[in-house]
Amino acid sequence: MNSEEYEKIKSEISDRLEEVNRQIADVLSGCGRSRESLTLIGVSKFFPPEYARAAYELGLHDLGENRVQELLSKKELLSSEGIHPNWHLIGTLQTNKVKNVVGNTELIHSVSSFELIEEVQKRSMTKNLTTKILLQINTAREDSKHGFFKEEIGRAVELASSYPNLMLCGLMTMAPVQNAEHEALRVFTETREIFDRLKNEAGEPEIWKVLSMGMSQDYIDAIQCGSTHIRIGTSIFGKRS
């Protein structure tokens, strides 16, 4: 990619990012929340590393990826250029990939099974690290989605909280694809209620502070329901081919 192509892409990302930030500001203002209460994560899945670099240069310092290998390759390239975003793994995590991702993220959003909890603890202990994680909850109860059902989440929290090399920071969820406006509200509202209950029960509520929900199609509803981290791809980087 030559410099002219890069500047064109960066300009397009800048325009989209400005619009997303405008909408975020409006929603937060309506909810009586500060801008500091929300983390915007730019998800450049399937786009070349230059897109992630452009977003970082435009002030977006939290970047997410769905796949471990894509996160690692972009992290390596950007690090070689002196660019060090906060990297978030937001996609499905397989147990055989845990050894590669531990130590390479700010936060793993998608710990979705008891087996994964144990594997992240095992790999973190081996590397003498503390890994920040979220538990993925399948509030929508969709077969196509990973995560704990609400009747399992208490036991999952208990297990994750018992491990010395894990820092359990909260929950992540995904709403179903919306066929009509505001269909995601039920899932987000229920997840927020579960999050609040678990936070009240947590031994260290100051750590239990991340509620990751909302993507390009539904982030406004997610913010209104109390999301602290939204994961935005298309609305910032454009449609994927």
List % helix, strand, coil for the chain (3-state, nearest 5). 45, 15, 35
CATH of the domain at 179: 3.20.20.10
Give the chain's mean pLDDT.
Answer: 93
What CA–CA distance (Å, rounded) separates 8 from 174? 32
Q: Between residues 223 and 146, which one has the greater pLDDT?
A: 223
**How many domains are there within the chain?**
1
- Give tens-digit pLDDT for 189-200: 999 999 999 998
pTM: 0.95
pLDDT of residue 23: 97
Least confident of 15-29, 67-81, 170-184: 170-184
Instruction: Judge whether 110 and 172 are in contact, CB under 8 Å.
Output: yes
- Give tens-digit pLDDT for 212-229: 999 999 999 999 999 999
Give the other-Cβ count within 10 Å of 60's Cβ.
Answer: 21
Residue range(s) defining the domain that contains residue 152: 3-237
pLDDT of residue 119: 98
pLDDT of residue 35: 95
**In the structure, what pLDDT confidence band is assigned to residue 144 with cuts at 50, 70 and 90?**
low
Question: Is a pLDDT exceeding 70 seen at residue 157?
Answer: yes
Least confident of 51-60, 119-128, 177-186: 177-186
What are the backbone dihedrals phi and psi of residue 194, each rounded to the nearest 5 degrees, phi first?
Answer: -65, -45
Q: 36 burial class (0-12, 13-18, 19+ CB within 10 angstroms)?
A: exposed
